[in-house]
Amino acid sequence: MASLDSLTSWHSDWKQLKVAVVGLGVTGFSVADTLAELGCEVLVVAEKADPEYIDILDVLGVSHISGEAAAGVPARLIEFKPELVVTSPGVKPDSPIIQWAGENKIPVWVDVDLAWRLRDKTAKVAKWVTITGTNGKTTTTQLAAAMLEAGGNRVAACGNIGVPILDCIRDPEGFDYLVVELSSFQLHYIDAIQPEASALLNFDLDHIDWDGSFEVFAAS
């Protein structure tokens, strides 16, 4: 298995990389589905999981732990020995699994990190425009996407706006632009991306309960 540093493309050798996916909402499922398509060995850990997603994971042959068995740091996760954790952004940094990953020097990504590395799946590689801030993100993301589309581009608004970015990455036609709404939760975990343009609209005291302090929120 190649090192994570070499996994910078859809066409890299992702096969057999052992990845733990934390959370199984819309974002978590898109991550698990993408990793399975890439040939990774995947274990999904989710205390709350939509039965429909569980059924699809079974069809895909993706292992999972859900309900009470997924609380804390499950023994099955430890035995799995993941080389990478991809977390849903709503999972707090002080959660047991994220703390365990840090203690064991296991990198933690969110779906945006993965999407950045996989953005060359199609011949048309989209440019990214990223939007963040406490208020107005969704409206600004939709407005920016509409403006780019009016200019004759094929555009998707995605990310925290509700459409998983990995679903856009895997669109067979590709896009000229992805306008990506990013929450502070996602930004807390993101390693490094290089968008064409970014906007920080504002920040206020709305998410201190998640970040723990205004300083941590501002840094994200």
> Tell me, what CATH number does 72's domain have?
3.40.50.720
Strand order across the 108-109 sheet: 63-66, 41-49, 18-24, 84-87, 108-109
Tokens found for residue 205: 């005291």
Tell me, yes or no, if the pTM score tops 0.95: no
Domain shared by 99 and 148, yes or no: no
Identify whether residues 104 and 141 lie together within a single domain: no
Residues 129 and 44 both lie in one domain: no
Count of structural domains, the chain: 2
- 94 and 147 in a common domain: no
Residues 132 and 85 in one domain: no
- Inter-residue contact 85 to 23 (CB < 8 Å): no
If asked whether residues 154 and 77 sit together in one domain, one would say no
Between CA 140 and CA 164 the distance in angstroms is 18
Same domain flag for 104 and 76 = yes
**66 and 130 part of one domain:** no
Q: What is the pLDDT tens value at each position of the chain, 220 positions in all?
A: 458 989 999 999 999 899 999 999 999 999 999 999 999 999 999 999 989 999 999 999 999 999 999 999 999 999 999 999 999 988 988 999 999 999 999 999 999 999 999 999 999 999 999 999 888 999 999 999 999 999 999 999 999 888 999 999 999 999 999 999 998 889 889 988 999 999 999 887 766 665 666 777 777 7
- Please tell me whether residues 149 and 171 are part of one structural domain: yes
Structural domain containing residue 134: 118-219
- 87/144 same-domain check: no
In contact, 29 and 54? CB cutoff 8 Å: no
Query: Are both 100 and 144 inside the same structural domain?
Result: no
Same structural domain, 139 and 172 = yes
* Residue that finishes a domain, picked among 109, 143, 170: 109
